[in-house]
Structure 1
């Protein structure tokens, strides 16, 4: 295996499957099986999940809601998604711990860095919910921050496309995919795969990011084994 410890970032939208909103249990179960295949290979895995399939703070702000209030609502949405993923992982026989940046004792543990690392060392998958616990920060930034805190080897961003393109491939058929790209190029060209804060955190801490298609079964394991899947940002 190429990596010892991985931080996997899943968008909330990826949990929708073919639905227009909400959670597709079949899609979540597919992710759980893919994650288990990497877990079974002996790799330590932490996961950050977004909440855009349920509520998106930026969209609510545009319709007149207070941004901080909207962001807190979005954080609660991420916890719902994390619980769905936790349930799916435990259904396939993987022990997990869910930690939240906002205290919810009846549902999950509070986020404590040393406890999270201890869980990983004991062979449990740790799922981080509620983003950073602060408004004005995305779950992409939360993923970068948690990855740095737990000393992950790489951030893997699982999306519905197979990497970073020169333009949105769903809108521009002439868009071409990058196999590898630098942080400076991503920021300079305004390629909005993750927000600038997330990229900058990884750049400053020399933490590589791989953007790949999580919906294709087996891709996660192939990346863990060192295959060149998706786009590497370093």
Structure 2
């Protein structure tokens, strides 16, 4: 058996966008991409780390965009929450194909497809080394999945939030359009808010900052990146209180 690298983290939250699941497509789910991300999660799970996940729904429906096109905001947000459940079920299927026991836990009751959110039950799943995917956001309109990830990370006593992006950290401007963009190794939540760096929405940042929850921003496109950072390697930005 291959020896697993050591990590100082026991329990973490992984937040990824819905768009991360659509690969090179412009919409929906790309099964090979879902499987690739599931393998990244499994590699960390194999290290003995307890994993929570929150996945956005922007690859299927984004409530804010629907509202901007004239749809009533609350209805649009609930539609976005349902999109996150679809993504969570896809990730659950991919993880269980790899032999990782997984529970989808929804903030909106839909007992036929997901468990209702009960904090103590979710903690017990984590203690039994099951991956918990929290779906349907916070269950309330006007709150994003960023806020849901910050909320659940605190409720589950996670030691950090890992945010998988398309770039390897936080930059002072878009590195895709500006080759001189500067990447931060460490930055405070206050500086993120002050400079409007748009890492997470303001509610999520405030919740993480007030509870001194570290945020690690890294590239989800880098093979082995998630596992590498937990092993003390790789490139990332740490946001601290």
| Structure 1 residues 8-157: aligned runs within 5 Å | 8-157=14-163
Distance in structure 2 (CA, Å) of the matches to 1:151 and 1:174: 38
Q: What SS does the corresponding residue of 1:48 show, helix, strand or coil?
A: strand
Partners of 2:42 and 2:100 within 8 A in 1? yes
Distance in structure 1 (CA, Å) of the matches to 2:186 and 2:17: 22
The runs of 5 or more residues in structure 1 that have no matched partner are none
- Post-superposition shift, 1:228? 5.1
Distance in structure 2 (CA, Å) of the matches to 1:117 and 1:229: 30
Q: Deviations over 1:4-36 (max 9, x none)?
A: 001000100111111111111111101111110
Aligned length: 234
Q: What SS does the corresponding residue of 1:126 show, helix, strand or coil?
A: strand
Partners of 2:225 and 2:234 within 8 A in 1? no
Q: Deviations over 1:47-105 (max 9, x none)?
A: 00000000001111111111111000000000000000000000111001110000011
Distance in structure 2 (CA, Å) of the matches to 1:60 and 1:176: 34
Q: Over aligned residue pairs, what C-alpha RMSD do you find?
A: 0.8
Distance in structure 2 (CA, Å) of the matches to 1:70 and 1:217: 35
The runs of 5 or more residues in structure 2 that have no matched partner are 1-6
Q: Deviations over 1:164-216 (max 9, x none)?
A: 11012223332221111011100000000110111110100000001110111
Give structure 1 regions of 4+ aligned residues with deviation exceeding 6 angstroms.
none
Q: What SS does the corresponding residue of 1:32 show, helix, strand or coil?
A: helix
TM score, norm. by length of structure 2:
0.95
- Post-superposition shift, 1:225? 1.3
Distance in structure 1 (CA, Å) of the matches to 2:65 and 2:176: 21
Distance in structure 2 (CA, Å) of the matches to 1:67 and 1:223: 38
